[in-house]
Structure 1
Amino acid sequence: MVLDLLLIGLVIALDPLPVTGFVLVLSSRNGIWKGLVFILTWLATFVGIIAAVLLMTGGQPPAAKSAPSTAALAAKLAIGVGLVLYAERTRRNLGKRQRSSGFMSRIERISTWSAAGLALLLQPWGMVAAGAATVVEADLSHASSYAALMGYVLLATSSILTMELYATFAPRSAHARLGKLRTWLEGHQDQALVSLVLFLGLWLVGKSIYQLTA
């Protein structure tokens, strides 16, 4: 469980879509406060999903080879296949899609409440679902499970949290560097997304098949 959550959290943190959206939120008027709302909504979503899964399992992982355990592995396998297919479709469309500046400009004029909605919109739901299917394995009778879950949430939030702190305590430097990051992401977003999603998808497919057949 720990390794899976580590990889899923890392891929979520590096996902260029929420990172790009968050940079634009920070670039808007009162961006620090809107960024804080974005982060709180983002965190609340993760915590809420984890809590819902733990309520269903009672904080105890299902027995190996049981129906719930098999269902969780099958869900991870399906999510992995979906991520691989998504990565392939995105790869085939590289260079074919034209970026619209309208959506970007609307984000730059976003309201505080809309920043909360954007945090939900930009959640990488496929990866979040993979994390939820992994949390099924958590055993709350061990402190290590609490540490793993907390580490997963913090890791998945680390990129936007780092940008928020940077923009808060070094606004001038952050404005210049985040602007460069935005420019780079706008030119390499799809390539980065394909690589991350394909990696995670193949990992989930391979490990799920191994565990289902072992």
Structure 2
Amino acid sequence: MVFDLLVIGTAITLGPMHNSAFILLLSSQRGVRKGLAFLLSWLANLVVVIACVLLLTGGEPPARHSAPSTAAACVKLAIGVGLVLYGAHRRRRPPLPHGPPRWTARLDRASLATAAALAWLLQPWALVGAGAATVVAADLSSLADWLALIGYCLLATLGLIVMEMYTVRAPAVAGARLNALRTWLEQNQSQLIVTLSLIVGLWLTATGIYGLVA
């Protein structure tokens, strides 16, 4: 479970779309507050998903080859295959023009509530779903599993935390460097999505198959 969460959490935090939107929020009016609203909402989303899974499992990992463990493996397999197919499709598709989507121009006038809602909209739900399927194996009587769940949430939010703290500590320098990062993300967005989709998709496919046959 731990390594699966490490892979999924890393892929979530490296996603280019939410990072680009977050940088735009930070550079807008009241950017630090909007960034904090986005960050907290993003983290709350992950916590809520994990809490729902643990409520369903009772905090005890299901027996191997039981209905819950088989369902979790099937979910991981389905998401993995879907990510691989999506990555292959994006790889063959002609590259799109660089630049942010038109809706990002409205972020300067976004409210704190809008910034918080945007975090839920930009969550990579396929990866969050894979994380939820992995959390099915968590044992709340184990301190190691508690640390793994906390580490997963923090890892999936790490990029946002670093950018928020950087902006608070050195706003002038951070603004220039984060805008340069946003430009790079926009220019390489397609390649990043393809790479993350294929790597995580293949990993989830392999772990899903292993969970079904082992």
The answer for the alignment partner of 1:85 in structure 2 is 85
Letter of the 2:60 counterpart = Q
Whole-Å Cα distance in 1 between the matches of residues 183 and 89 of structure 2?
Answer: 24
* 2:17 pairs with 1:17: yes
Counterpart in the other structure of 2:110: 110
TM-score, reference length from structure 2:
0.96
Cα pair distance change 1:184/1:54, threshold 3 Å: same
Please state whether the residue corresponding to 2:110 is helix, strand or coil.
Answer: coil
Q: Please say if residues 43 and 153 of structure 1, whose CA atoms lie closer than 8 Å, have aligned partners that are also in contact.
A: yes
Q: How many residue pairs get matched?
A: 214
Provide the residue aligned with 2:198 in structure 1. 198
| Counterpart AA for 1:126 | A
State the AA in 1 paired with 2:93: N
Residues 100/37 of structure 1: CA separation in 2 closer, same or farther (3 Å cut): closer
Q: Quote the residue 2:68 is aligned against.
A: 68
Aligned residues of 2:98 and 2:187 also touching (Cα < 8 A)? no
- The Cα offsets for residues 89-143 of structure 1, whole Å up to 9 and x where unpaired, read as 2222241457565222112332211101110111000000000000000001110
Structure 1 residues 101, 64: closer, same or farther in 2, change over 3 A?
A: closer
Any residues of structure 2 matched to 1:167-206 within 5 Å, and which?
A: 167-206=167-206
In the alignment, structure 1 segments of 5+ residues that lack a partner are none
Structure 1 202/101 Cα, relative in aligned 2: closer, same or farther at 3 Å?
Answer: closer
Q: Is the 8 A contact 2:59 2:140 kept in 1?
A: yes
Q: For residues 20-169 of structure 1, what are the structure 2 equivalents within 5 Å?
A: 20-96=20-96, 99=99, 101-169=101-169
Deviates more, 1:201-210 or 1:86-95: 86-95
- Asked whether the 8 Å contact 1:94–1:190 carries over to 2, the reply is no
% same residue? 54
Asked if structure 1 preserves the Cα contact closer than 8 Å seen for 2:54 and 2:136, the reply is yes
Which residue identity does 1:146 align to in structure 2? W
RMSD across aligned C-alpha pairs, in angstroms?
1.3
Give the letter aligned to residue 114 of structure 1: T
Cα gap change, 1:101 to 1:61, in 2 (>3 Å): closer
Whole-Å separation in 2 of the counterparts to 1:107 and 1:195: 28
- TM-score (ref. length: structure 1): 0.96
How far, CA to CA, are the matches of 2:35 and 2:95 in structure 1? 31
